[in-house]
Structure formats: structure tokens, C-alpha cells
Amino acid sequence: MTEIKDVEVKIDVLHPNPVIGLGVPLILTEGLTPSYKEYKSLAALEVDFAKETSAYKVAKTEFDQKNKARIVAVATYVKTTPAPGESLMEVFEKFFGKTWHFAIFADATPTEILPASQLVEQKEYKFVMLQSDTKTDFTPFIKMPRTLKYFHAKKDESLVAAVVGDVANLPVGQATWKFRKNFVGITPNDDLTGTEVDALHEMGVNTYLTKVGVPQTSEGLATIGEYIDFYHGQDFVKSDAETRLQKLLVENDKIPSNDMGVSMVGSTFTSTLETAGQQGIIEKGESGYLYTIETDKFEDGTEENVRDRVYAGVRFSYIPQGAIHKIRVNGSVVSTN
């Protein structure tokens, strides 16, 4: 069923000069017929997917991590000669509006995943997890920040499921995706040279390796020069604002189409941005969190919007809070001679 809602928040990324739990995974796997189901435990999932199936193995990796999601969703599609509505992309589109936020493809090749990545980029919401042991597989996805790319040498291990299970369900804004460490069931890619790791990073690709004796993610890149927490923070703002504004519409007998109604909308959106600031999504300045909100009068909207009772007069911007990923220290030694 297509998601039905009365509120839509769109965020455009600007590049100026420098100045609800969104971690549920969706495992897409081959099946006899299309289906979608959410599981609260590995035992419950095993009723439908035996231990030797790829769906079970991916789910187990997610459930084995310390910050695992409260639920894991699984969708099945027909790979060989699918009937109308049964293909991977048709199933992906059908269930796009469900509660999941990170799509993991248990049985698909990068070529098969590409249309799903394109859809996520078009919608500017949610993420596709892409894992491969072949560097050239990442080339078509280099400029796709919502396809999170991970190189991993062992095909039988789901590094992307471990990443989601470790960090995706932490409070958005309070964790970077670099330095995620000690994944259960994942072997570090310690055969990679420093030059090879740098080459991956230059493609916006992450990996998992050992540094100072600790297995950890090499970076938290979404694409070249952009970071996963930046986009995850956008999704929080969008999701939280839509939830609050929908609640505003439902819980009030009427939102008047005058200054009072506009003020109610603006105040509700302010609550979202204040919360985002408290969580570390929005940077803080001397006088508060660095965001702006502008609202127009309802009657200044288009003739069509006024007629249809649509208010589209809210505009906002914010400066995202980053994280320190490297530290360089300059020092000097005073000679006693």
C-alpha cells in the first residue's frame, strides 16, 4: 500500500562556503512470492527462513551487534521469470513506505541493485547498503550519497548488516559512522594496503580494518567529501517534522488559515529543529542552534493552494554539526644542550 500522508517535508542541500529510530533494516531476498514481514527476534525469523538462507545469515549478523534494531524487516521477490508485481524493483517500490530505513540486498548483484539506488536518490530519503569485494562494482554509485558503499573481501559475511546493527539505531546525530568497532562475525580487511584504502575513500567507499589493534570502520563516507551522519540527520529532520505536523493536524479541531495557524505550524517546526540541535544534528552558536525558519502568510500562497487549503509557506535552513575524524598535532622539543 502506498504511504498516505498530509505532510511532506523536502530538504535541499546547499553548499555555502565553509562555515523515531531511523535504523530499521530491510532485507530483500529471493522467494516464491512477494511478501513483507517484520521480526522482533532471530527465532521468529527462523520460522520463515532457515539457518542456511542468506536472509537468515544477514539478519543474524544484524541481531548479533550491540545496538541492533528492535525489528528487522524482510521482503521477498521473485528473481526468475517474475509475474507482474513480483520483481525486485516492484517489491522495493511497493514496500518503500514501510518502517525500514536501510535496505540490504541479500541475493542481488550491484547491477540489480542500481535501480533501487536511483529510486532512493530520487526520493532523497532512506538508504541502500551496497557491499562488494570488487572495487569496480562501486563505480556507478560514486555520486549516490544514499547508497552507502562498503568494500569487504569475504562474500559470506555481511559487513553492511553489521554496520547497521552497530550504529544506525543510535540516536541520530550522536554518533559518527567512522570508528565503529569490534563487529561480531566480521573479519577485518587487513590485507588492504594504505594506498588501497585511500583509493577506496577517494571513491566514497568505506571498509573494515584493524587500526592500533582494534577492528573498526575505516570511514563514515556517504560519497566523496560527504558523510553518512549528514544525510541521516536530514532524514531525522524530515521524519520528525512530518510526524509532529501530522499530529498537529490530527489533534486540533482546526488549524486556522490566518496568522495564528501559521504560528502553530512554525512553532511545531521549531520544536523539530530544537530537538535536532539537542541531538547533535544542528551546530550550536553563542545564542543557540544555528537554524532559521521563515513563514509566509497563508493568503500569500498560490491561488491553487489557497483554494485547496494547502499551506506551503515554511522555509528553513540549518548548519549541520560535523565530527572529528582525524587529529593532527604539531609540537616541539626543547633541547637541554
How far CA 95 is from CA of 74, 164, 252, in Å, comes to: 10, 19, 30
130-148 in b/e form (b: 16+ CB < 10 A) is: bbbeeeebbebbeebbbbb
Rounded distance between C-alpha atoms, residue 276 and residue 305, angstroms:
29
N- to C-terminal Cα distance for the chain?
79
Rounded distance between C-alpha atoms, residue 27 and residue 39, angstroms:
11
Rounded distance between C-alpha atoms, residue 126 and residue 188, angstroms:
27
SS (H, E, C) 239-297: HHHHHHHHHHHHHCCCCCCCHHHHHHHHHHHHHHHHHHHHCCCECEECCEECEEEEECC
Bridge partners of residue 294, in order along the sequence: 315
Residue 155: CB atoms within 10 A of its CB come to 9
Residue 221's nearest CA partner among 156, 151, 278 is: 151
Residue 31: CB atoms within 10 A of its CB come to 20
How far CA 156 is from CA of 53, 106, 107, 203, 311, in Å, comes to: 11, 10, 11, 24, 50
Give CB contacts under 8 A, 24+ apart, made by 11-15: 11/124, 11/234, 11/237, 11/238, 13/234, 14/317
The per-residue pLDDT string of the chain (337 residues; one tens digit each, 9 = 90 and over) reads: 445 555 565 544 443 333 245 899 999 999 999 999 999 999 999 999 999 999 999 999 999 999 999 999 999 999 999 999 999 999 999 999 999 999 999 999 999 999 999 999 999 999 999 999 999 999 999 999 999 999 999 999 999 999 999 999 999 999 999 999 999 999 999 999 999 999 999 999 999 999 999 999 999 999 998 999 999 999 999 999 988 999 999 899 999 999 999 999 999 999 999 999 999 999 999 999 999 999 999 999 999 999 999 999 999 999 999 877 767 788 868 777 6
pLDDT of 333 reads 81
| Dihedral sign of CA atoms 101, 102, 107, 111 in order | positive
Rounded distance between C-alpha atoms, residue 42 and residue 200, angstroms:
33
Query: Contact at 8 Å (CB) between 37 and 74?
Result: yes
